[in-house]
Structure 1
């Protein structure tokens, strides 16, 4: 008699620099003739080896090419009899050095990595000095001109709340609407690094990087602080700042209600 399917949630950390984004580019089981590696296909191949059969995963939030994640959350179903340590260490042993599984826990059958999440968090880091970085360069964006982080923080507060973020979405965004609830945004300086943290119920395609691109114009003194609020109200992507590079962006992770019984770092 076949073992019943069980659903698991998994926390995954990855360096997105060598991947063409999160999303698998071909249907499950089909060969990738383009040779473009994605985090999803790489993780699914490793999980399938451990499970001894095909495993597909669903993530909390897709990331673009070059974007990193400190705790992406996925769910998957499997009838394979493996202990949690086996899922974590076995899968990680089949992954490249740029990806690892941090934890794995059983969850209810109705848990969904994307739809059960109530918020998502991102962090963007900018090295603000006259000389480009040598260390940590794949996790930073470099800005040689002085930035006023306090002005950037004040300007960003105009984005709080539920708003139409059309001014900060890419033309390729496939979301049916641009309304999102931005719950927190903060910009601070720590020595030579300017860091932005942002949390919302969900994000549009390139939304965080487009916000950063506009805030950089405020930080350099090219636009007044009030300009960010004007962009939001105007809903016109063509007059906002450029899209900031992907290298400085990290998906910190989603957040779930406590009754999902996931690790504290992804729980409200």
Structure 2
């Protein structure tokens, strides 16, 4: 586990109700950054509803951490509608944080050789999924009287790279969705926060992207001393949510020290 960031002095999301229960939905919570975020928020005394497609992994998370769970596919309208109903049941007082983590990359094809099915899947999970869930849960966030919508994007939303066009485009769409939502909610007590990680070594991201090729997935991080871990990103997410409500971290970009940019990574340099 990583060393956690110091928490800001304010300990409640809603300063008008000190000590009130803090509630959160975390998507993509079956593994990686989503799981680490759910674990971190539970450790910080949040009541968390962790959602993902893989129910067996969610069950394990619930057994280990005591969070609420629900099988949800963010690309499916009916599934997200069930999520909204469950949030209303669990959190009648409202939802203090909606954390969008579900998403991911598929393939490394060029634009010329693009697999459009993979592009569609990436847009569904990374761009349209957060829109669909935000539409469904925004009433609950409003009901809290003081909430946050946090989007996990990527440095891929900021700079294109060869073999990444589909993921670049999907994450850029998510970035622009968050930016527009922030403008649309201006004047309401709802923060829109974007966290954009660079290289993060998780159990599945590169493995899924590269079609299950374990050797190719391992090569992504080969020679890189201390790429970010899921817990590092969860620390930053928790810090952003714990900041005083009048402080909005619009966009936080984080990378490992070894990565200066998407195309410039120190390998075997003994950092």
User: Could you say which structure has the higher strand fraction?
Assistant: 1
Which of structures 1 and 2 has the bigger CA Rg?
1
Same fold at TM > 0.5: no
Q: TM-score range by the shorter chain?
A: under 0.3
Give TM-score scaled by structure 1 length: 0.23
